[in-house]
Structure 1
Amino acid sequence: MFDALLQTKLYMPAAHPGWVKRPFLLAKLEPNRLTKLILISAPAGYGKTTLATAWLQQLQAADTAQVCWLSLDEDDSDPQQFFRYLAEAVRPLPGIQSHLPQLLQSNQTIPPKTLMKAFVQDVFPVSVPFIFVLDDYHAFDSADIDTALGTLLDLMPPQMTLLLTSRSDPGFPISRLRARGELVELRADDLRFTEAEAACFLQQTMGLALLPEHIAALESRTEGWIAGLQMAALSMQHRASDDLHDFVRSFTGSHRFIMDYLTDE
């Protein structure tokens, strides 16, 4: 018997109110007619989901694509469970078929590749462009699902684009997609804040009155790592202005807030 589906896994998170606008990155995400896969891959704290959400909400506002969202965790390593979520995520799309749900209702164990082919049959008649997001793809480990997604990318209809956010590259091969121009990818080096973005984040989002040299030092010490800048900002919010110089000078990756963050992640 299957567990009930958690509907919260199927909803895109709200955009952060203090989002630092990054038009260059948003432009890089725009798929062309060849794009099959958008991969946002970086360690924890680089703003992968935040960036994806901001871009997708921009698409929705312009009514240029629909969004299907699935937040993944370790429980989704079971292929049957994973495909139940896939079927539910695309259910609202106009023109969607129901081959996959019918297969999942049977009492038989069906190979993931067969289930994925049924999924492709279901989405092929969809009448609008749509982005299917698998958020936190690193959170589970399933060679069967990796193989099935490779099948999806081979058979994907032209109105569909797959977007993955992950701390590591997926288990299916992506080099062929890259060679064919079918892959858009953003890495940690792309996601790092520039000094100007760090200034916007620290001053406007976090409400800190910092000198340019303080901002430059923090951006350099964190190497633009967004979570590191946030931990620094949280530590500075209740400090007197004359203490900030000493804090910035002594701030390192061993700061307690950063160590706590890395331990939790």
Structure 2
Amino acid sequence: MSAILPFLRFLVITRRYMALLGVAVIVIFAVAALAAPLLFDWTTATRVNLGDALATPSLDLPLGADEMGRNMIARLVWGARTSLLVAGVSVGAALLAGLLIGGLCGYYDNRASFITMRAMDAIISFPRILLAIMLITILGPGMTSLTLAIAISSVPVFARLFRGPVLSLKSRDFVLASRSLGAGDMRLLFRHVLPNIASLVIVQGSISLAEAVLIASGLSFLGLGPQPPVPEWGAMIAQSRSHLMSTPHVVLAPGIALFLLVLSLNLVGDGLRDFTDPKSTRISPGAAP
């Protein structure tokens, strides 16, 4: 909370209202995802009711029903839970692995780190979607394999990003002073070097969340994500795309939700980048609204 409030204040003072709106949208989706079991039970989101098939929005069904008669708003809420869970776990795992690999390879600039980074280069040379498709084809479709595929395809991005700053920081005066006082390599790396790239970790993490949500939806659109009846926005778009002209709400609802979440994550990522940039945080007194 102590870090969030200054960021929100920065957005208000610098009049970054789109980023503030992005924060609000992310909070709404996150709360809906966490409270999904309380808002709509699993049966409501997955029960087939052909009597309500392709029902238009009404008081009973605010966003209508899909081709199976399932409540669209319930499926959107549970779909947010699926998308955020996959994105959060995959980015979190990739962030930790990439930070460890990039940190160690930057700190120990030897033959082993050279070979490791060349392996990262080889992996990153593949398009992420193609690499994820290959991994899911081997592991089989499902939420676990989707999460793992996104995580593995994201590790080289973080490793390459973090290696450079670590390589630069390890020769700074405060690190050399700590070494002269007897600090070991691991203490220097985890207590002095890595904390100084925390802002970079936060910014890249928020942007990578948007990429992960988009990749997960794209793979689910191709049938490589969670299998029916698990609600997932990309799969919902794929299953309902044939009804786009006759009942567009079944495609527009998950499409707009996906658009808003990805856009909001990118807007917040841009705001975080400016907030952590010392040049951007120098606000003149007359800048307040």
TM range (shorter): under 0.3
User: Structure 1 length normalisation: TM-score?
Assistant: 0.27
Structure number with the higher strand fraction is: 1
Structure number with the higher helix fraction is: 2
User: Structure 2 length normalisation: TM-score?
Assistant: 0.25
